[in-house]
A and B are shown apart, each in its own frame.
Chain A
Amino acid sequence: MPANAYNGFTDFGVGIGLRVPHYQHILSEKPVVDWFEIISENYMIDGGRPLHILDQILERYRVVQHGVSMYFGSPEPPNREHLRRLKTLVRRTKTPWLTDHLCWGSVDGTYTHDLLPMPYTFEAVRHTANKIREVRDFLEIPIAVENVSSYAEFHASEMTEWEFLNEVVEAADCGILLDVNNIYVSSRNHNFNPFDYVNGVPAERVAQIHIAGHSKFEKYILDTHDHPVIDPVWRLYERAIERAGRTATLLEWDDKIPSFKEVHDEALKANQFIAETAAAL
Chain B
Amino acid sequence: MNLLEIQQRMLEAVMQPLTEDEQMQSRTRDGKSMHEVAGEFIKPNDRLSSFERLEIYNRQYWFRVLAALEEDFKGLRAIVGQKRFEELSRAYLCDCPSASFTLRNLGSRLANWLQNHPKYIQPRGALALDMVRLEWAEIEAFDGAAEAILLPDDVLASDPDPKFRLQPYVQLLSLRYPVDNLLLAIREGSSESDRASNAVSESRKPTRTRKISRQKQETVFLAVHRLDYTVYFKRLDSEAFRLLSALRDGSSLSTAVASAFEGSGIPEAKLLGTVQSWFQKWSELGWFCRPVTSQL
- A-side residues, CB < 8 A to B, are 41, 44-52, 69-70, 73-75, 79, 82, 104, 106-107, 109-114, 116, 119, 121, 123-124, 127, 151-156, 189-191, 219-220, 222
Distance (whole angstroms) from the CB of B57 to the closest CB of chain A:
6
The CA-CA distance from A190 to B4 in the complex, in Å, is 23
Which of chain B's residues 110-157 have a Cβ closer than 8 Å to chain A? 142-146
Look across to chain B and name the residue whose beta carbon is closest to the beta carbon of A75.
B4
Of B7-15, B175-183, B204-212, B234-242, the stretch lying at the interface with chain A is: B7-15
Q: In the complex, what residues of A have CB within 8 A of residue B27's CB?
A: none
The CA-CA distance from A201 to B42 in the complex, in Å, is 25
Contact of A119 among B3, B14, B52, B103 (CB under 8 A): B3
Does B291 sit within 8 A of A, measured CB to CB? no
- B-side residues, CB < 8 A to A, are 1-4, 6-8, 10-11, 14-15, 40-43, 45-48, 50, 52-54, 56-57, 60-61, 64-65, 68, 97-104, 142-146, 168-169, 226, 229-230
Known: A116-B10, A153-B45, A219-B47. A75 touches B3 (CB 8 A): yes
Whether A69 lies near B6 (C-beta < 8 A) is no
Contact of A113 among B3, B45, B56, B65 (CB under 8 A): B65
Whether A46 lies near B143 (C-beta < 8 A) is yes
Known: A124-B3, A151-B57, A155-B43. A112 touches B99 (CB 8 A): no
Distance (whole angstroms) from the CB of B272 to the closest CB of chain A:
33
Most chain B CB neighbours (cut-off 10 Å) among A47, A49, A52, A107:
A47
Whether B41 lies near A191 (C-beta < 8 A) is no
Whether A41 lies near B11 (C-beta < 8 A) is no
The CA-CA distance from A73 to B98 in the complex, in Å, is 18
Name the 6 nearest CB pairs between A and B, nearest first. Answer: A46-B145, A48-B143, A49-B229, A45-B143, A152-B53, A111-B98
Look across to chain B and name the residue whose beta carbon is closest to the beta carbon of A126.
B3
The CA-CA distance from A116 to B3 in the complex, in Å, is 13
* 11 new A-B contacts at CB < 8 Å, known A49-B230, A106-B11: A47-B168, A74-B7, A75-B3, A104-B7, A111-B100, A112-B61, A113-B98, A113-B103, A119-B3, A152-B43, A154-B41
Whether A155 lies near B41 (C-beta < 8 A) is yes
Whether B56 lies near A152 (C-beta < 8 A) is yes
Distance (whole angstroms) from the CB of B28 to the closest CB of chain A:
16
Contact of A114 among B6, B48, B60, B168 (CB under 8 A): B60
Distance (whole angstroms) from the CB of A188 to the closest CB of chain B:
10
Look across to chain B and name the residue whose beta carbon is closest to the beta carbon of A81.
B101
- Tally A-B pairs: CB < 8 A: 123
Whether B57 lies near A47 (C-beta < 8 A) is no
Whether B101 lies near A82 (C-beta < 8 A) is yes
Look across to chain B and name the residue whose beta carbon is closest to the beta carbon of A219.
B47
Whether B48 lies near A48 (C-beta < 8 A) is no
Known: A111-B98, A154-B42. A52 touches B47 (CB 8 A): no
Look across to chain B and name the residue whose beta carbon is closest to the beta carbon of A45.
B143
A-B contact pairs, 27 of them (CB 8 A): A47-B144, A48-B142, A48-B144, A49-B143, A52-B229, A75-B3, A79-B101, A107-B4, A109-B99, A110-B99, A111-B98, A111-B100, A111-B101, A112-B14, A112-B15, A113-B64, A113-B68, A113-B98, A114-B60, A116-B7, A123-B3, A152-B53, A152-B54, A153-B43, A155-B40, A189-B45, A219-B47
Q: In the complex, what residues of B have CB within 8 A of residue A49's CB?
A: 142-143, 229-230
Known: A47-B146, A69-B101, A123-B2. A107 touches B7 (CB 8 A): yes
Most chain A CB neighbours (cut-off 10 Å) among B57, B101, B142:
B101
Whether B97 lies near A111 (C-beta < 8 A) is yes
Look across to chain B and name the residue whose beta carbon is closest to the beta carbon of A67.
B101
Look across to chain A and name the residue whose beta carbon is closest to the beta carbon of B15.
A112
Most chain A CB neighbours (cut-off 10 Å) among B7, B52, B53:
B7
Look across to chain A and name the residue whose beta carbon is closest to the beta carbon of B102.
A41
Q: In the complex, what residues of B have CB within 8 A of residue A41's CB?
A: 101-102
Whether B7 lies near A152 (C-beta < 8 A) is no
Distance (whole angstroms) from the CB of A82 to the closest CB of chain B:
5
Known: A151-B56, A220-B47. A110 touches B98 (CB 8 A): yes
Q: In the complex, what residues of B have CB within 8 A of residue A74's CB?
A: 7
Q: In the complex, what residues of B have CB within 8 A of residue A106's CB?
A: 11
Q: In the complex, what residues of A have CB within 8 A of residue B99's CB?
A: 109-111
The CA-CA distance from A37 to B290 in the complex, in Å, is 35
Whether B65 lies near A156 (C-beta < 8 A) is no
Q: In the complex, what residues of B have CB within 8 A of residue A191's CB?
A: 45-46
Contact of A50 among B11, B103, B143 (CB under 8 A): B143
The CA-CA distance from A74 to B3 in the complex, in Å, is 9
Q: In the complex, what residues of A have CB within 8 A of residue B56's CB?
A: 151-152, 220, 222
Look across to chain B and name the residue whose beta carbon is closest to the beta carbon of A74.
B7
Q: In the complex, what residues of B have CB within 8 A of residue A116's CB?
A: 7, 10, 14, 57
Whether A48 lies near B45 (C-beta < 8 A) is no
The CA-CA distance from A34 to B124 in the complex, in Å, is 53
Contact of B6 among A48, A156, A190 (CB under 8 A): A156
Whether B57 lies near A156 (C-beta < 8 A) is no
The CA-CA distance from A55 to B104 in the complex, in Å, is 21
Distance (whole angstroms) from the CB of A219 to the closest CB of chain B:
4
